[in-house]
Each structure stands twice: as structure tokens, then as C-alpha cells.
């Protein structure tokens, strides 16, 4: 069976399909929103090559990547990074747990239009507004929604500014990651309403922030491990090691901090990411069975890099730092401060937004 019924079955078997959303998942056919070629789990699926496989994946509980590099073909040696997908349906359901009948919702990141179609089907076209920054994707989503027979309000523009013309919204749901939550979202969300967004820094971008709006301010906490594309205006740098490292000699020292703890402990990575927001790590394991690894750090401004050479059995590791920023020193200091503070888990942190400032802390 390759039909919306298959997706319903998968989600029901996984125990994630709530009664409120079941009729919508059954009625809105994901096939209207998926292009003839997409990427799933690292492989390309093309309808013309294998229609049955294409349909099997359309109704899978998997994210399907529909665009890379803002629609530009990556040049020779350039990194391909995903810029649009239809999200994993079970993740959509997890996000939509905040939605109730009667809500007016603003979705940031229309993408294929599939999620907007869910919202429009359940809440009504007039209660659903969705905004997309990419003109081509916006046009495709409108066409997809038309095919599905649904007409929510679709806006072309920068969703970081919200969509004030139809505010206030009971729920503001972003399907792209932000590092700063725009105050416009707070201003355009009704008193008592909710903002839900993938949130993070370049260092760690795998959290949902869920905030309640009250008296023009918003407060909330963090959950989940979502992996969403960045809001285009706030995204981190992408590239290969060679885009930062051109063979220069950096300053060499040693550290007794095993850099792998920063990969393995998501709470540590979250906390370090609060301090080192515009740099990111890459653990590069050796391919000779030595269990050695190089921990790289790169800054978004493309001015600095650092490495830590992990070797098993040692208790000191060589570091090398290049450029105006001492990236390893920054990361190590942030980690040690977090440990000294008692290693608070991510769940201990709160986020607050007022018209003049935005902060995250445990206090
Ligand atoms: C994961 S996809 C969205 C999935 C979509 N909700 C769906 O159901 O297909 C992320 C989308 O956010 C869009 N986006 C990125 N930055 C944006 C911004 N500032 N305003 C609006 N959309 C944005 C991207 O172009 C992309 O289409």
C-alpha cells in the first residue's frame, strides 16, 4: 500500500498519531507536495526511474530533502547543504502538539507547503498563514497547495519579520532554525500564545525553544533534538576544512581536556554553544584503525581555526590555533565554567525575550 493510509499506519504503529491529527494526515496527500526527485537518507529517489520506490518514500516517516544550496548547483569542490525539505511527519506531529482547534497559526518556512496544508486542513484556511523567503519555493508551494485543494494564506518574504498583516497568532511555529528569536514573533503572537522554533547556535543547533507570550514578553525552555535547516538570514558558515585551513602554522600548545566529551555530551555542547555561538566543531576520526581523531573548530567569519589531536591512552593532547580568535581556548573555558557551575542540563535553562533583550540562563 503506497497511499496516505500507509503514512497513517506507520504513525499509528509508532504511537505518535493523535486523534486530533489523524483525519488530517489521512486526507492531505503528501504526494502533492513532493517533487519528482528528492533525497532521502543520503540517496536520490527519482519518480521516472522507480515510481513504486518514489511512492514508498513519499509515505515514509522520513524527511525528504527537496533543495540544496538555495537552489544553486554547488560549484566544483563546494559543499552541498540542504536548504529545503518536507519534514519528518512524526516530528511535525510532535511540534503540532501545541496546536488546538480554533487556533490561528503563523508558520515560518513554507517549504513544500505540506505542513501548511495540515494546518489549513485542521484549522481552516483562514486561520493558517505561512511565509517563505525563497520565491521559487513559495511558487512551488502555492502550486502544491492548489493541487491538494487547500488555500491557506501564503506570503513571500522574510519570516524573521513575521507576517504582521494577519497578526495576532495563537501559535507561531518556525520550521527553520534561528539563533536569535525575532521580537516581531513575540509582538505578533497573542497574549497567552505560544512560539515554537528550532533554536541554537553554530556550535549546537539541536533544540526546540517553546515560549509563552505574556505582556509583550516571552519566556520558555528547551527540548527535543531537531535538525532543521537554518533561517537563511541567520545561518552558520558551511565549507570544507580547506576553506579555513590553507597550510598555515598555528600556535601550538597542549590541553588535558579530551575534546570528544564535547561531541558525546549534548548538555555540554548546548552550554558551550551559549558562549561560543559563531563557531562550530567537526570531529574527524582517523581512518587507520588508530582510534585517533582531530577535533576541528571553525569560525563563521572564516578568520580562525583550531585543532586538538586526540590520541588514545594519553592525558594531554596537542592543540593548534590560528587566526585572531583562540577558538579552542574559548571552547575549553566555556566547558570548564559549565562544569564548575555543576554541569546544569539543558532542561535547567530558560530563555526570555523582551523588546530590548534576549537571554538564556539558569537563574
Ligand atoms: C525544513 S524546510 C520547511 C518545511 C516545510 N514546513 C514543509 O512542510 O515542507 C525550511 C524552510 O524554511 C525556509 N526559510 C529559511 N529562512 C526563512 C525565512 N527567513 N523566512 C521564511 N522562510 C525561511 C527555507 O527556504 C525552507 O523552505
Give bridge partners of residue 283 from the DSSP assignment: 295
159 and 57 both lie in a single domain? yes
Are residues 184 and 52 both part of a single domain?
yes
**Strands laid side by side in the 64-68 sheet:** 43-46, 37-40, 64-68, 82-86
Closest residue by Cα to residue 108 from 88, 133, 136, 84: 133
Q: State the virtual CA torsion across 50, 53, 59, 63 in degrees, nearest 10.
A: -90
Q: Is 159 in the pocket of ligand 1 (CB under 6 A)?
A: yes
220 and 247 in a common domain: no
What CATH number corresponds to the domain at position 276? Answer: 3.30.160
Q: Domain containing 266: what range?
A: 242-340
Same domain for 107 and 32: yes
Q: How far is the CA of 88 from the centre of ligand 1 (A)?
A: 14
Q: How far is CA 186 from the centre of its chain?
A: 20
**Residue 86 CB less than 6 A away from ligand 1:** yes
- For residue 176, the CA-to-ligand 1 centroid distance in Å is 5
d(CA 86, CA 95) in angstroms, rounded, equals 14
Instruction: Tell me the catalytic residues.
Output: 87
Same domain, 224 and 263: no
On whether residue 264 sits in a domain, the answer given is yes
Pair 281, 299: CB distance under 8 Å: no
The atom number, within ligand 1, closest to the CA of 232 reads 16
Extract the C-alpha cell encoding 211.
515560549
Residue 124, judged by CB atoms within 10 A of its CB (0-12, 13-18, 19+), counts as middle
348 within a domain of the structure (yes/no)? no
Of the residues 216, 233, 250, the one at which a domain ends? 233
Q: 128 with 166, same domain?
A: yes
Q: Is 162 in the pocket of ligand 1 (CB under 6 A)?
A: no
Q: How many CA atoms lie within 13 A of 40 on its CB side?
A: 23
Other residues' Cβ atoms within 10 Å of the Cβ of residue 213 = 25
Beta carbons of 161 and 185 less than 8 angstroms apart? no
Q: Which of 199, 233, 267 is the last residue in one of the domains?
A: 233
Last-in-domain residue among 233, 257, 291: 233
pLDDT in the model for residue 2: 78
259 lines ligand 1 (CB under 6 A): no
Residue 129 and residue 60 in one domain: yes
The answer on 313 and 215 residing in a single domain is: no
Q: Residue 78: what pLDDT? A: 77
346: in domain: no
Residues facing residue 85 across a β-bridge: 65
* 294: nearest Cα among 238, 236, 241: 241
Determine if ligand 1 sits within 6 Å of the CB of residue 112. yes
Is the CB of residue 227 less than 8 Å from the CB of residue 200?
no
Q: What's the maximum distance between 2 C-alpha atoms anywhere in the chain?
A: 63
Which ligand 1 atom is the nearest neighbour of the CA of 131?
Answer: 21
Whether residue 323 contacts residue 304, with contact meaning beta carbons closer than 8 Å, is answered with yes
Q: Is residue 186 part of a domain?
A: yes
134 CA closest ligand 1 atom index: 25
Residues 309 and 203 both lie in one domain: no
- The pTM for the full model equals 0.96
Report CA-CA distances (Å) from 284 to 51, 241, 296, 310: 38, 10, 7, 10
pLDDT for res 278: 96
Beta strands 169-174 and 105-108 are parallel
Atom from ligand 1 closest to the CA of residue 231: 16
- The beta strands (E) that lie in the chain are given as 37-40, 43-46, 64-68, 82-86, 105-108, 128-132, 153-156, 169-174, 189-199, 207-214, 217-223, 251-255, 279-285, 293-299, 305-310, 317-322, 350-353, 358-361
Atom 11, ligand 1: residue with shortest CA distance: 109
Concatenating the DSSP letter of every residue in 282-315 gives EEEE-SSSS--EEEEEEETTSS-EEEEEE-TT-S
Q: Does 263 lie in the same domain as 207?
A: no
Report the pLDDT value the prediction gives residue 74, as an integer from 0 to 100: 76
Ligand 1 contact via 85 beta carbon (within 6 Å): yes
Classify residue 178: in a domain, yes or no: yes
Q: What is the pLDDT of residue 270?
A: 97
Ligand 1 touching residue 175 (CB < 6 A):
yes
Could you tell me the distance, in angstroms and rounded to a whole number, from the CA of residue 253 to the centre of ligand 1?
43
In a domain, 255, yes or no: yes
Residues 62 and 192 in one domain: yes
CATH of the domain at 10: 3.40.50.150
Query: Which residue's entry shows cell 507536495?
Result: 33
Within a domain: 256: yes
In a domain, 363, yes or no: no
Can you state the angle between helices 135-147 and 114-123, rounded to 10 degrees?
Answer: 50
Measured between alpha carbons, how far is 285 from 196 in angstroms, rounded to an integer? 35
CA of 206 to the centre of ligand 1 (A): 16
**What confidence score (pLDDT) does residue 75 get?**
75
Is there a single domain that holds both residue 204 and residue 248?
A: no
Tell me if residue 336 falls in helix, strand or coil.
helix
Q: Quick check: 38 and 45 in contact, CB under 8 A?
A: yes
The number of folded domains in the chain is 2
The pLDDT, as a whole number, for residue 77 is 74
What is the Å distance from ligand 1's center to 16 Cα?
24
pLDDT < 70 stretches in the chain: 1
Amino acid at each position: 500500500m503506497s497511499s496516505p493510509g500507509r503514512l497513517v499506519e506507520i504513525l499509528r504503529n509508532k504511537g505518535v498519531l493523535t486523534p486530533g491529527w489523524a483525519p488530517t494526515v489521512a486526507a492531505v496527500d503528501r504526494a502533492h507536495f513532493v517533487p519528482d526527485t528528492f533525497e532521502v537518507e543520503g540517496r536520490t529517489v527519482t519518480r521516472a526511474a522507480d515510481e513504486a520506490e518514489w511512492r514508498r518514500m513519499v509515505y515514509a516517516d522520513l524527511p525528504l530533502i527537496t533543495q540544496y544550496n538555495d537552489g544553486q548547483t554547488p560549484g566544483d569542490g563546494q559543499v552541498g547543504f540542504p536548504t529545503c525539505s518536507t519534514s519528518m511527519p512524526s516530528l511535525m506531529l510532535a511540534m503540532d502538539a501545541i496546536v488546538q482547534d480554533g487556533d490561528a497559526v503563523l508558520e515560518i518556512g513554507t517549504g513544500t507547503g505540506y505542513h501548511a496544508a495540515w494546518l489549513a486542513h485542521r484549522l481552516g484556511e483562514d486561520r493558517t498563514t505561512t511565509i517563505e523567503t525563497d520565491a521559487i519555493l513559495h511558487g512551488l508551494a502555492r502550486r502544491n497547495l492548489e493541487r491538494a485543494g487547500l488555500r491557506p494564506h501564503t506570503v513571500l518574504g522574510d519570516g524573521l519579520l513575521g507576517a504582521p498583516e494577519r497578526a495576532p497568532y495563537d501559535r507561531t511555529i518556525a520550521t527553520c532554525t534561528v539563533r536569535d528569536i525575532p521580537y516581531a514573533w513575540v509582538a505578533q503572537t497573542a497574549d497567552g500564545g505560544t512560539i515554537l522554533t528550532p533554536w541554537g547556535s553554530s556550535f549546537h543547533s539541536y533544540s526546540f525553544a517553546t515560549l509563552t507570550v505574556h505582556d509583550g514578553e516571552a519566556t520558555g525552555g528547551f527540548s527535543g533534538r531537531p535538525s532543521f535547516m537554518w533561517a537563511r538570514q541567520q545561518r552558520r558558515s558551511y565549507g570544507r576544512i580547506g576553506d579555513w585551513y590553507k597550510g598555515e602554522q598555528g600556535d601550538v600548545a597542549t590541553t588535558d581536556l579530551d575534546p570528544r566529551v564535547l561531541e558525546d555530551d549534548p548538555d555540554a555542547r548546548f552550554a558551550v554553544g551559549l558562549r561560543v555561538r559563531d563557531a562550530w566543531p567537526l570531529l574527524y576520526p582517523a581512518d587507520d584503525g588508530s582510534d585517533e581523531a582531530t577535533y576541528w573548530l571553525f569560525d563563521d567569519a572564516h578568520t580562525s581555526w583550531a585543532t586538538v589531536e586526540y590520541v588514545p591512552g594519553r592525558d594531554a593532547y596537542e592543540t593548534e590555533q590560528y587566526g585572531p580568535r583562540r577558538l579552542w581556548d574559548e571552547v575549553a573555558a566555556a566547558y570548564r565554567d559549565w562544569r564548575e557551575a555543576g554541569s546544569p542540563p539543558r532542561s535547567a535553562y530558560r530563555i526570555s525575550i523582551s523588546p530590548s533583550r534576549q537571554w538564556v540562563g539558569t537563574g
